[in-house]
Amino acid sequence: MIQRFDQVVLTVADAIRSQAFYKTVFEMTPLPAEEGIGVAFGEEKILFQQIGDELRHHALEGAGHLSLISELSAEQLIMHFEQLQVELLEGPIDKGAYVAFVMYDLDRNLIQVKSTKTAA
């Protein structure tokens, strides 16, 4: 029935700043301007809605929670996050089938990154 999500929309204080954060920390590709302010990875898109832009949704800043799967090993993710000085709330957490890392983005949306690979 459902194949994939079309897009996720996160409410943020500064859409441009959030786009830069996701580009840098998660290596996502910024969307072309005609598609809105957001990022893409594969066929998936995250759009950033600035507070007050779409009042009909009544979304709150920092109310999102995303879980992402990384192609990097847990060890590579640790080095990546350390290089960028990303503050982790939790992790690495060994869950058996994957290793999880939990952090906030700039607007306190909760982001979990899962690595299903171990170092070779």
So where are the chain's domains? 8-117
Mean per-residue pLDDT over the chain, rounded:
87
Return all residues near 30 (Cβ < 8 A) that are at least 6 apart. Answer: 19, 23, 38, 39
Q: CATH for 8-117?
A: 3.10.180.10
Q: Binning pLDDT at 50, 70 and 90, where does residue 28 land? A: very high
> Residue 57: which pLDDT band, with cuts at 50, 70 and 90?
low
Phi, psi angles (nearest 5°) of residue 7:
-160, 155
pTM of the model: 0.79
